[in-house]
Amino acid sequence: MSFFTVTNLRVNYRKNPLGIDDIRPRLSWVLVSERRGFVQSAYQIEVAYGDDFIAALVWDSGKIESDRNIHIEYTGPTLKSRTRYGFRIRVWDDQGMVSEWSEPSYWETALLVSEEWQATWITAPSSPEDTDHEACDYVRSDFTVSGQIVSARVYATSLGLYRLFVNGEPADETLFNPGFTSYTKRLQYQTYDVTALISEGANTIGCMLGNGWYKGYLAWEGQKELFGASRAALIQLHVTLSDGSEQVIVSDGSWRASTGPLLRSELYHGETYDARLTIDGWSSPGFDDQAWPNAIIHQAPGATIVAQENEPSKVTEVLKPVAVITTPQGDTVLDMGQNMVGWVKFTVNSVAGTVITLQHAEVLDRDGNFYTGNLRSAKQTVTYICRGGGEETYEPYFSFQGFRYVKVTGVPKEQLMEHFVGCVIHTALEPTGSFACSDELVTKLQNNIVWGQRGNFLDIPTDCPQRDERLGWTGDAQVFIRTAAYNMNVVPFFEKWLKDLAADQEPDGRVPHVIPDIPIAGHGSSAWGDAAVICPWTLYECYGDTRVLETQYPSMKAWVEYMRAQGDNEYLWNTGFHFGDWLGLDAKENSYTGATPKDLIATAFYAYSTQLLAKTAAVIGNVEEAEQYRALHERIVSAFRAEFVTPSGRVASPTQTAYVLALMFDLLEEKDRPRTAKMLAENIEENGTRLTTGFVGTPYLNLVLSRFGYTDLAYRLLLQQEYPSWLFSVVQGATTIWEHWDGIKQDGTFWSDDMNSYNHYAYGAIGDWLYRVVGGIDLTEPGYKKIRIQPEFGERLTWADASYNSIHGTIAVAWKRMEGGAFEMNLTIPPNTTAEVFIPEIHREGISESGMPLDQMIGLVRADVNGEGHLLHIGSGSYRFSFIPNTSFRGGIKK
């Protein structure tokens, strides 16, 4: 009997995925063992049709001598479309023992070749009463199943958003399908298991269509139909019967179409639903649709249709209101207690024709009145007209709102608390990280960061979820991605978005400011376009995934070559439009851009992306280009020094962001770095222990301070409660991250109406530092195969707990101060990984583990000592260290 098990089997990061079109899926698993220092020495994978690993075996890898347990590529026979493949895994440890076979998992393929689509695109005919074609479409078809049903799958997509129904029931709980992609180039379809919804005999399939991102309003100039003017659907149902035969039901001109009670639906503006127009049973058998006209065949779009790539969007939590407020102006307002993204679901019992309106807002003004000025043109209003005759429940279909407060009319105040709830909606990413500490405000800050990520990760990484924007801003995504990867499993989410980035990239390599591209947003700015390089590299670092580098390498290279072609010479970037240090506090009056020269920022990111591109080329085996880009990087660094650093080694632009970038990206000579770090620290101190950085400098600020021995100052910045600081908004009552440090000023007034989001995750990038430095969880090999544990202890914190569920398993660090200046640190290192643990104690006898001297510790491979402490090399397992820190230790992220 083995004392280790194989669990948490994944296919392309997902558990039991339904409907994938990857012909080389990658398999991963997690090992469980209480033995310290557990190492896998070999594995075996079996893949079968269904779960019959004897009679229906498809592929047996055999025993493979390897310690890899992530991203093992399927190399068996060519996969078949619409087929479920079960797989199981067993492993051997380094002592030759073999585990039991894991519990089987599976993946199911979708339509692997485009020729398998038999359905045709259909759209609803225009209604004479709906000249603007704003009412949402309803399409339906009846069909009969003759025989016992074994399985049933629907493959569906749309131009616009769609909701699928089978025999009167939703096909599943997913929302906002088919998602937001570069619709003219890439369009996702979804796979639904509707076996339980279909029965022998009469059946019906129905579909609602809304404008969504495809046809609806997008961006801030009131434009709509940026991708197309007509909604359409493509639906194909396969029913497999017990005799082995199959029925295929497809969308075509025989389907019927109509409008219904959903009179208007827009992502920004909300919905209007007249329940008096409800069409009872429209998606169920027996409905008389003879009055409905036939659907119209719609020209197929030119986009490539691909299977769903990321996790779907869903309702992930339901919040009850915490209060009902009557404002000074007399409005009745629900307070959800949390700035959230989603919609309100409610139940009422009113007479027919009663009009209920819900307006959504993030904040109240300083007098306590309902405030929507920062929404700009976005109405965020739901209007519901009651049917009457009993209780009726409503929630929107194709519109989401960003809000904490809801102004309600048409419902008695006393009914609101019990009959209204907030449905939190976002892409259903698996939570992977947690952080808490003894300072309640810092813990609240981390909570706000997570809520900001939840609110802005709705199919794409948006800047904000409430105003007339909600777009995939590249700069925001690249500064936040490392923090995002601690909080949640973000790979499928970003892989999908990065494919759209590559699809929308201009032929010369320019990257649009927003992805998917909205032309009025522009393109080609440094730090924003660098998402093309920084995001794939970060995914590789955090998950050990080389495929994302292989897939994105042409895009990464194109961006670097675009930068190379822009400057007066090929080593400086000193031309074109740049956002600069966006919202930097050292900006001139009436400017959004900080004082750091834009060409300094542009050249710094040019150097950084080129360095990452060289590393990427080396990782994927492109040796020649790796050397070419290493040489280019060296020349860019030399040009940076000649242009932006004085002969004596001083950064010519004395701003916090200039210092931070020069240090973070290693753009200075080694001898000049300590002095520059000191100048950065002095600048912060002279500014009253306050930052002046904007979107570009802030994400790296505390990391740079800690790297160069100023963790104490980094802590003081973190714990600063006065404006500007991370905790200023927390003290003001924020429940998410603000776009501006002073979105609400100390006197209660607002920064502005024109650009003032209260759910904007960019400054939440401090979460990276919280996990890495306060929590002490970092990596020295991609995918956390080799882990670095080095928390740095702030004087005002008495404890901190951090955990991260890596692709190899859970890493956890919990430290606390004990009496007499001692510390206790509890660690968990997952099986099949190793760790370096830094203990800031120079005396070996001053360190104990689980009450035993270090020399008797089980799992210790090696202990190195220097003038600052001990670096312990350990295997997997759970550990409890006690020690008294070396008081001379000043911190530093050791590389």
Residues annotated as catalytic are 469, 739
Q: What does the DSSP 8-state code read for residue 771?
A: I
Tell me how many degrees the CA angle 400-404-407 measures, rounded to the nearest 5: 85
492 upstream amide cis, omega within 30 of 0: no
**Spatial CA neighbour of 18 closest among 156, 150, 190, 249:** 190
Q: Which helix (H) or strand (E) holds 31?
A: strand 26-33
Rounded Cα distance, 884 and 85, in Å: 54
Torsion of CA 146, 147, 151, 157, to 10 degrees: 0
DSSP string, 699-741: HHHHHHHHHTT-HHHHHHHHH--SSSSHHHHHHTT-SS--SST
Rounded Cα distance, 709 and 707, in Å: 6
Rounded Cα distance, 73 and 61, in Å: 10
Angle at which helices 474-487 and 531-543 pack, to 10 degrees? 10
Burial 247-256, CB ≥16 within 10 A → b, else e: bebbbbeebb
**Spatial CA neighbour of 534 closest among 469, 597, 607, 596:** 607
230: helix, strand or coil: coil
**Spatial CA neighbour of 702 closest among 838, 836, 794:** 794
CA 613 from chain centre, in angstroms, equals 23
**Spatial CA neighbour of 737 closest among 767, 711, 776, 771:** 767
| Most distant CA pair in the chain, distance | 88
**Spatial CA neighbour of 170 closest among 319, 312, 381, 320:** 312
CA atoms within 13 A on the CB side of 608: 26
Alpha-carbon Rg for the chain, nearest whole angstrom, is 29
CB contact at 8 A, 701 and 692:
no
Q: Which phi and psi angles does 264 have, rounded to 5°? A: -160, 140
CB contact at 8 A, 442 and 719:
yes
Cα dihedral across residues 553, 555, 558, 564: positive or negative: negative
Token couple for 369: 């009145």
**Spatial CA neighbour of 848 closest among 818, 823, 876, 816:** 823
Total length of the chain: 895
